[in-house]
């Protein structure tokens, strides 16, 4: 973690450049544990000042990749370049990063002040610099006045903010967050993720966060790296990942998605039972088995019975909208539709009701049959 201590917050407070340069280049990184391949030829560039989330299910390789970047796990092959410096074989203490773990990893026998000051004392910073930096960071994470408390006297959210302040104390070029919010309850988690994102944006520090929580990734990240079985499925902005999933796995993992068994027709149609449904252009052969994927919020329901219709099998109240489960007439397949609460009275939603269904072409895309299974 080689950095030179500068005046408070000057290292990352500058505005992001118009043409960002790569802070970290990951080139062909592979990690094997015996015959098991945890990471398979990972290639990725992370830009200066960017907030990137590694997202995926348990065992997908996201934590292994973070630990490899930190030097806590040594890659089998491939290289890592940070700001033009090859760090592939450097030990953790020689790399320029700060890290926050899920378990906080605070020293229970040290006060809040001493926990935050730990890295600065290891750097042999002078007393005045340490006091000024710790005071500044505690103010930044809204913990001024807690200097003399011990971790056991703090809530989980407060402990995580101390861990964040400690990670930022030495002004690292790269901040690594390993599922930092997963041990907290939902209310605290929601509040803290907004704090972390605002702090990262203010400081401009390049940040990588590992999470399995899609909502966390969608609300915090500039870009999301979706991983599965040791490979990258897709890299994109939250909007790109949500609205333009590159694979059925991404479509099923991010948000809620309907998958309907269809056969491909013309390059922008698919046959659902006996009904031809328009969809986004595709390259499937005529009559090839496929899946039509569409988000529940894109499905439009009507009391006017159309060519495609379904019977209401379930209604789930979710506050701003009601999630309606329908059995499609003629196919026996199930479809979810999210109806804004203000529209539910117009539809007169009730069990057993038959409703017309419209699937907008620009929200329906095809994937290979059965490919939404992880």
Based on C-alpha coordinates, what's the Rg of the chain? 25
Contact 168, 195 (CB under 8 A): no
Return the pLDDT at 373. 62
DSSP string across 159-190: HHHHHHHHHHTT--SEEEEESTTTTS-HHHHH
% of the chain beyond a pLDDT of 90 = 80
- Kindly state the tokens that stand for 216: 């966390």
Q: Please write down the HEC assignment for all residues of 2-55.
A: CCCCCCCCCCCCCCCCCCCCEEEEEEEEEEEECCEEEEEEEEEEEECCCEEEEE
Q: What is the pLDDT of residues 183-204, one digit of tens each?
A: 788 888 888 888 899 999 999 9
> Residue 32: CA atoms inside 13 Å, Cβ hemisphere, count?
8
Mean pLDDT (whole number) for 338-355: 92
pLDDT reading at 17 higher than 80: no
Contact 335, 357 (CB under 8 A): yes
Kind of pairing, strands 51-55 and 223-228?
parallel
Least confident of 29-43, 174-188, 242-256, 307-321: 174-188
pLDDT reading at 266 higher than 90: no
* Residue 130's pLDDT band (cuts 50, 70, 90): very high
- Provide the residue count of the chain: 374
Q: What is the pLDDT of residues 56-81, one digit of tens each?
A: 999 999 999 999 999 999 999 999 99
pTM of the model: 0.88
What is the residue whose two structure tokens read 């803290």?
192
Contact 184, 151 (CB under 8 A): no
% of the chain beyond a pLDDT of 70 = 94
Least confident of 7-11, 125-129, 137-141, 260-264: 7-11
Q: Please write down the HEC assignment for all residues of 271-313.
A: EECCEEEECCCCCCCCCCEEEEEECHHHCEEECCCCCCEEEEE
- The CATH number of domain 22-248 is 3.30.70.1380: no
- The CATH number of domain 262-368 is 2.40.50.100: yes
Structural domain spans, the chain: 22-248, 262-368
Neighbours of 91 (CB within 10 A): 10
d(CA 145, CA 131): 13
- 193 exposure class (CB count in 10 Å sphere: 0-12, 13-18, 19+): buried
DSSP H or E run through 198 = helix 186-203
pLDDT reading at 1 higher than 80: no
């Amino acid at each position: 973690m080689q950095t030179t201590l500068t005046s408070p917050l000057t290292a990352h407070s500058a505005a992001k450049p118009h043409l960002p340069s790569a802070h970290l280049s990951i080139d062909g990184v592979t990690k094997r544990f015996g015959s098991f391949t945890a990471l398979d030829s990972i290639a990725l560039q992370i830009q200066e000042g960017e907030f990137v989330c590694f997202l995926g299910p348990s065992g997908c390789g996201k934590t292994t990749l973070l630990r490899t970047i930190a030097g806590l796990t040594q890659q089998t092959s491939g290289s890592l370049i940070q700001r033009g410096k090859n760090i592939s074989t450097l030990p953790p203490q020689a790399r320029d990063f700060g890290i926050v773990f899920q378990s906080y990893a605070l020293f229970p026998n040290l006060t809040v002040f001493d926990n935050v000051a730990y890295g600065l004392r290891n750097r042999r910073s002078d007393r005045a610099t340490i006091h000024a930096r710790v005071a500044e960071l505690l103010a930044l994470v809204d913990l001024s006045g807690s200097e003399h408390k011990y971790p056991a006297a703090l809530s989980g959210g407060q402990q995580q903010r101390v861990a964040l302040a400690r990670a930022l104390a030495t002004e690292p070029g790269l901040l690594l967050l390993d599922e930092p919010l997963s041990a907290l309850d939902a209310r605290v988690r929601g509040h803290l993720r907004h704090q972390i994102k605002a702090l990262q944006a203010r400081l401009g520090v390049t940040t990588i966060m590992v999470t399995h929580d899609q909502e966390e990734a969608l609300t915090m990240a500039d870009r999301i790296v979706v991983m599965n079985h040791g490979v990258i499925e897709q890299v994109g902005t939250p909007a790109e990942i949500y609205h333009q999933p590159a694979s059925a796995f991404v479509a099923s993992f991010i948000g809620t998605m309907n998958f309907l068994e269809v056969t491909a027709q013309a390059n922008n149609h698919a046959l659902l039972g006996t009904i031809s449904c328009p969809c986004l252009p595709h390259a499937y052969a005529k009559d090839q088995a496929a899946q039509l994927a569409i988000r529940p919020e894109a499905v439009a329901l009507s009391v006017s019975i159309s060519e495609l219709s379904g019977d209401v099998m379930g209604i789930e109240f979710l506050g701003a909208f009601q999630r309606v489960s329908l059995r499609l007439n003629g196919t026996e397949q199930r479809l979810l539709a999210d109806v804004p609460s203000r529209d539910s009275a117009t539809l007169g939603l009730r069990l057993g009701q038959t409703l017309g269904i419209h699937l907008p072409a620009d929200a329906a895309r095809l994937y290979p049959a059965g490919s939404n299974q992880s």
